[in-house]
Amino acid sequence: MCSEDGIVMDDGVTGRLADQRYLMTTTSSGAAAVWEWLERWLQLERPQWDVRVTPVTSAYTSINVAGPLSRELVARVVDDVDLSADAFPYMQVRTGTVAGAGECVLLRIGFTGELSYELHVPAGFGLHVWETLLARGADLGARPFGVEAQRILRLEKGHLIVGQDTDGLTRAASAGLAGLVKLDKADMAGRPELAWAAGRTDLSRCSCRSSPTTPAWFPPRLHRSSSRAPTRSEGASPPAGCHRRCGGRSAWGRSTPRWLTRAAR
C-alpha cells in the first residue's frame, strides 16, 4: 500500500470474499493508520463512492500454520475446503469451518517462506482452534513459534517489513515491490510518483543479502571513531543502521534488520 507520494506505507493482503466484499489485512501496528487513511479517502477524496469500511481486527484470532506439514495439519481440522495445491493455490482465499468454528477465513499465504496458511477464526473461538491445532498436530511436531523465528525465516525468504526495512523515503520500486504495482490502472493513489520511480535506475534498492563471510561495514556515525569493526567470529554482526562498504571507502548502502541465521553460519 503506497501513499500519494508513492512511498510504501504498509503492507497486507486483500482477499475478495464476495462480489462486493473484501477483507484487508495490514501490519499489526499499521491497522489503525490504514483505517484512518481509507476513511480519509472515502470521506474527503471520494465521498461519492458507496463503500463502507469496518475494522474487524478484534473480531478475528489469526493463526499462522507454517511448515512443510502445514497442509496435513490444516486438513485435520478443516473439512469443507479443498486444501490441495491445485484447488487452493498460493495467494488465494477461502472461507470455511476450522475445528468446528464457522465463518473462518483461510489465506494461503505466509511470512516464513514455507508452505503456510493464515487461519482467521472468530475471536471467541480462537483459543479452541489454537488448542485443537496443537493437539491434532502433536504427532507432526506442531508447536508454537515466536516472532524471532518468524523474523529470521522471513529474512531468509527476503520478505521485507514495512517500517523496519523501509523508511519514509522508500518507494515501491526501491523496496523491490515494483512487480506489485499495477501501473496500467487509470488512476490510483501515488500513480504519478510510482510511474516516475519505475522508470529510474538510479534509485536505491532494498535487497536481502546473505554474507557467508564477514562483510565490511561502518559502525553508526556516532561510533565511527572505533579503530576497527568487530568481526563475526567475535560475535558481532552489522548493526541496524550501519553503513556498508565494498572495497573502497565510500559507503554503498546501509543495513536494516539483520540476523545470524543457521543457514548463514
Distance of CA 157 to the CA centre of its chain: 11
First to last CA, the chain: 35
DSSP letters, 92-110, are -EEEEEETTEEEEEEE---
**Among 158, 140, 257, 148, which Cα is nearest to 207's?**
158
Contact call for residue 142 and other proteins (CB under 8 A): no
Contact call for residue 101 and other proteins (CB under 8 A): yes
Query: Of 54 and 227, which has the nearer Cβ to other proteins?
Result: 54
Count of other CB atoms within 10 angstroms of residue 133: 21
Query: Of 99 and 160, which has the nearer Cβ to other proteins?
Result: 99
Q: Identify the residue among 12, 30, 113, 122 touching other proteins (CB under 8 A).
A: 122
Could you tell me how many residues of this chain bind other proteins (CB under 8 A)?
A: 26
Contact call for residue 33 and other proteins (CB under 8 A): no
Q: Look at the alpha carbons of 242, 33, 176, 93 in this order and tell me if their dihedral is positive or negative.
A: positive
- Here the cell at position 225 is 571513531
The region of 6-14, 72-80, 165-173, 241-249 touching other proteins under the rule CB under 8 A is 72-80
CB of 121 to other proteins, least distance (A): 9
Query: Of 132 and 150, which has the nearer Cβ to other proteins?
Result: 132
CB of 32 to other proteins, least distance (A): 11
CB of 58 to other proteins, least distance (A): 4
- Here the cell at position 18 is 464476495
CB of 105 to other proteins, least distance (A): 12
Residue 61 to residues 25, 37, 78, 112, 175, Cα–Cα distance (Å): 12, 24, 16, 19, 30
Q: Identify the residue among 36, 39, 45, 79 touching other proteins (CB under 8 A).
A: 79
Phi/psi at 177 (nearest 5 deg)?
-110, 15
Helix intervals (H) in the chain = 31-40, 70-77, 126-136, 147-157, 191-198
What CA–CA distance (Å, rounded) separates 1 from 94?
22
Contact call for residue 136 and other proteins (CB under 8 A): yes
Query: CB of 162 within 8 A of CB of 11?
Result: yes
CB of 43 to other proteins, least distance (A): 13
Contact call for residue 95 and other proteins (CB under 8 A): no
Contact call for residue 99 and other proteins (CB under 8 A): yes
Q: Identify the residue among 4, 5, 72, 103 touching other proteins (CB under 8 A).
A: 103
Which residue is it, cell 477483507?
23
Query: Of 50 and 202, which has the nearer Cβ to other proteins?
Result: 50
Name residues contacting other proteins, limited to 51-70 (CB under 8 A).
52, 54, 56-60
Binding region for other proteins (CB under 8 A)? 50, 52, 54, 56-60, 76-79, 99-101, 103, 122-129, 132, 136
